[in-house]
Amino acid sequence: MSTGPQSTHNADDAFIRRLPKVELHLHIEGTLEPEMMFDLADRNRVELSYPSVEAIRAAYDFEDLQSFLDLYYQGMAVLRTERDFEELTRAYLRRCAAENIVHTEMFFDPQAHTERGIPLETVIDGVLAGMAGGEGDFGVTSALILCFLRHLSEDSARNTLAQARPYLDRLAGVGLDSAEAGNPPEKFTHVFREARELGLPVVAHAGEEGPADYIWQALEGLQVRRIDHGVRCTEDDRLVEYLAAHRIPLTVCPLSNIKLRVFDRLADHNLASLLERGLCVTVNSDDPAYFGGYLEENLIAVRDALGLSRAQIVQLALNAVEASFMSDDRKAELTGQIREQA
């Protein structure tokens, strides 16, 4: 039997595959694979500007966050009915089960749907039905985080929060996403205060294309529980020290960062250095249908590019459990399962 590099590589792949995993930065609309996009377009009689699945995949050559978002929002046009959102969610949770992702906390963008005439209840009821089916059929637990689109106004966000009030007991929190440039977290101070007063934990995208100061704004102005992305924290040593000292989680998305030119190469990514500096960093897939990799592929890619050890992979998995909104009992259970694999 071979005991060379290829054998070790395969064994490490298998180790990552069987390790219980938690995903905390996943946009459910970003799991819309081209094949499903075409199927839903046909079912809902939506005309796409791409003639084939191959043409869509060829379009996934983004120059920046905005060029990705332009295609992302166009793809959403095929999502029309509760059944569409249920099938989208179940498809992702089926993928989770195949990768031994045991829990996921998913973002969704209600304004991207309500602005095109889709009722909020259609979106939420469909996703919740998919989540229930995913837990029943695949054993994957999930939670739902409502995100405000930062390129829209705070008034639009407040209106969305008001519309979502009947569903508050089924939401795990509130977040902030979309284009960072020119849309600082402080723009949403009032609506995030309202969300906190309603008892919702809050998170925010910051420090991806936006500067380190946006992370400070999210922490101090929005009082977030975790930072989504956050990789530009290294521009400010005091911020890195604060994040480490207070165990503020960063939900890092390596393959997304490369696709959107945050880093030129995965070998340049600062994930390993953040881990070494004691930050509570986690690995996630962001919008995997668009960025070429689900969670397992992200972990394998950073292991290869950054030379991560098994102990570091285990630490990333443990960090994700710690950073999640799961109950303390479930966290203790998963922590034990991960340590058993180590």
Does 7 score more than 50 pLDDT?
A: no
| Residue 208 is a catalytic residue | yes
DSSP3 helix / strand / coil % (the chain, rounded to 5): 60, 15, 30
Does 200 score more than 70 pLDDT?
A: yes
CB 310 within 8 A of CB 342: yes
pLDDT band at 8 (very low <50, low <70, confident <90, very high): low
Classify 26 in phi/psi space as left (phi over 0), alpha (psi -120 to 50) or beta.
beta
Give the model's pLDDT for residue 342: 82
Calpha distance 24→110 (Å, rounded): 18
pLDDT per position as a tens digit, 219-260: 999 999 999 999 999 999 999 999 999 999 999 999 999 999
Q: Which of 208, 220, 235, 296 is catalytic?
A: 208
pTM attached to this predicted model: 0.95
Report the Cα 144 to chain-centroid distance in Å: 11
Give the model's pLDDT for residue 1: 43
pLDDT per position as a tens digit, 258-305: 999 999 999 999 999 999 999 999 999 999 999 989 999 999 999 999
Q: Mean pLDDT, the chain, as a whole number?
A: 95
CB 131 within 8 A of CB 144: yes
* Structure tokens belonging to residue 201: 């934990």
- Domains annotated for the chain, with CATH where assigned, are 19-341 (3.20.20.140)
